[in-house]
Amino acid sequence: MARLRPASRRRLIVEMGAVFVAAPMLMAFIATPGQLFPSILPLLGLGLVLLHWTPGFRWSSIFDGWRKTRVPLIAAAGLATLLAGWIAIGWLQPWATFWLWREERSVFWGLFLAYPLLSALPQELIYRTLFFQRYGAILPEGPRAIVLNATLFALAHLMFWNWVVLCVSFVGGLLFARSYRQRGLLEAWMLHGLTGFVLFAVGVGWYFTPEASARPF
């Protein structure tokens, strides 16, 4: 990778800090529970614009490397998420186990259809493709870049104000970032889409709703 001039490096650091630190922190502190999801849209829009302007990025690259996608790994991750989520929600909030399927069947199927495209894909484009392609020159080497990515991905979920969401997002961020670095966007997207939906289906998704959010101030 070409060496950046100091001015270009500073600009990228400021830009990255604004997108991945300042904006999520601002939303976490000013958005009310009912504004959580609408408040995400401007950040997603900004990220997609920056991605479009990123040198070397092609929208068709979403499907690059599809032959390298590890379907058994994705299926195993989905099964592990189901088992871990089932155990966790049974311990933390037993009443919420499979609550969407039991009480909101139409929402369950709507989430099944919409989550991969309207939630997982934009998040992966911004937190994996934009992050690693646009800011790769200023990232730490090796696994530290993946840990940084997962930390910032968890920070993006601070607006939900509960430790379950932060922990789940961090672990998911590690998995998705590692997958992206190894096999590309398609596998990371499929992992995110499947495991995210499974979490909602099993009941852990309740922690991602406005009803579960309570700012400590």
pTM reported for the whole predicted model: 0.93
Q: Could you tell me if residue 33 is left (phi over 0), alpha (psi between -120 and 50 degrees) or otherwise beta?
A: alpha
Helix (H, G, I), strand (E, B) or coil at 157: coil
Let me know if residue 1 belongs to a domain: no
pLDDT digits (tens, 9 = 90+) for 110-142: 999 999 998 999 999 999 999 999 999 999 999
Q: Which of 13-27, 33-47, 81-95 has the lowest mean pLDDT?
A: 33-47
Let me know if residue 189 belongs to a domain: yes
The answer to whether residue 1 scores a pLDDT higher than 90 is: no
CB 54 within 8 A of CB 134: yes
Let me know if residue 97 belongs to a domain: yes
Let me know if residue 184 belongs to a domain: yes
Burial of 91 per CB tally in 10 Å (0-12, 13-18, 19+): exposed
Let me know if residue 72 belongs to a domain: yes
pLDDT digits (tens, 9 = 90+) for 73-86: 999 999 999 999 99
Written as six digits, the tokens of 20 are: 């991945």
Calculate mean pLDDT across residues 179-205. 96
Residue with token string 């976490």? 28
Rounded CA gap, 152 and 172, in Å?
12
Amino acid 5: pLDDT: 76
The answer to whether residue 169 scores a pLDDT higher than 80 is: yes
pLDDT digits (tens, 9 = 90+) for 196-209: 999 999 999 999 98
Angle, CA of 191, 40 and 204, to the nearest 5°? 50
Calculate mean pLDDT across residues 189-200. 97
Domain span at residue 114 reads 6-212
pLDDT digits (tens, 9 = 90+) for 47-72: 899 999 998 888 888 888 788 899 99
Calculate mean pLDDT across residues 145-162. 95
CB 183 within 8 A of CB 68: yes
Number of domains in the chain: 1
The answer to whether residue 190 scores a pLDDT higher than 90 is: yes
Amino acid 33: pLDDT: 61
CB 130 within 8 A of CB 2: no
Rounded CA gap, 5 and 177, in Å?
27
Give the closest residue to 157 by CA, choosing from 176, 171, 170.
170
- Report residue 105: phi and psi, to 5°: -60, -40
Let me know if residue 217 belongs to a domain: no
Let me know if residue 38 belongs to a domain: yes
